[in-house]
Amino acid sequence: MYLVGAGVGELTIIDYDTVNLTDLHRQLLYREEDVGKPKVEVAARRLHDINSTVKLRPVNEALTSENAEEIIKDADVVVDALDNWMSRQVLNEAIVKLRKPPLVHGAVNGWYGQVSTIIPGKTPCLYELVQVRSLPPQCVGYCPVVGPVVGVVASIEATEVIKLITGIGEPLINKLLIIDGKNWVIDEIKLSRVENCPVCSRYLKEK
């Protein structure tokens, strides 16, 4: 919603799922009347109402290793709004293999969220981030997601995208922002690359 409001030229929305009643507390594009309808179609319609000048491309598919590269190859920035780590790793591998575009990562579990901006070859990729660092131990396993924390993480991600496409401001490159919504503590962790990362070592070999 913030990106469309800001007037990004084109936005591709990828999701294979339909709206569920349990989505409504955190996905503000949807209403009760949308339950059972394809998420991307409802999202595109509502986003068009916010700013009709933005070109919207809904892709009603799951992100897989077979289609990820084709979907993202022409993007200037990719936003990770996924809800599981397996799909994130599919996206991460496609990003690293293509050596572009930047990936703005966000994740939420319970009261906690995290955001980082990943530049292939310059920052740790998402595989390194997951293997070495994670959300706080209070949220190991599944915690019910607190809707407003999702909104905070999404707003930070949208801000990162605007920084990247305008060149204004300092994105969260080699940094991981941790948001503790329960106690309102925000920490920033400095990141460094792992030399033996199996994803980066496979696709980012020296020429």
| Residue 80's CATH number | 3.40.50.720
- Same domain, yes or no: 2 and 94: no
Mean pLDDT over each residue of the chain, to the nearest integer? 91
Percent of the chain with pLDDT over 70: 93
φ, ψ at 90 (rounded to 5°):
-60, -45
Put simply, whether the predicted model's pTM sits higher than 0.85 gets the answer yes
- Domain of 52 in residue numbering reads as 1-61
Q: How far apart are CA 77 and CA 162, in angstroms?
A: 10
Structure tokens of 146? 């607190």
- Look up residue 28 and give its amino acid: L
What's the total number of domains in the chain? Answer: 2
Of the two residues 163 and 132, the one the predictor is more confident about is 163
- Same domain, yes or no: 83 and 114: yes
Domain boundary among 40, 61, 82: 61
Residue 116 near residue 175 (C-beta atoms within 8 A)? yes
| Residues facing 179 on adjacent strands | 113, 186
pLDDT band at 47 (very low <50, low <70, confident <90, very high): very high
Q: What is the pLDDT of residues 102-153, one digit of tens each?
A: 999 999 999 999 999 999 989 999 998 876 555 554 555 556 899 999 999 9
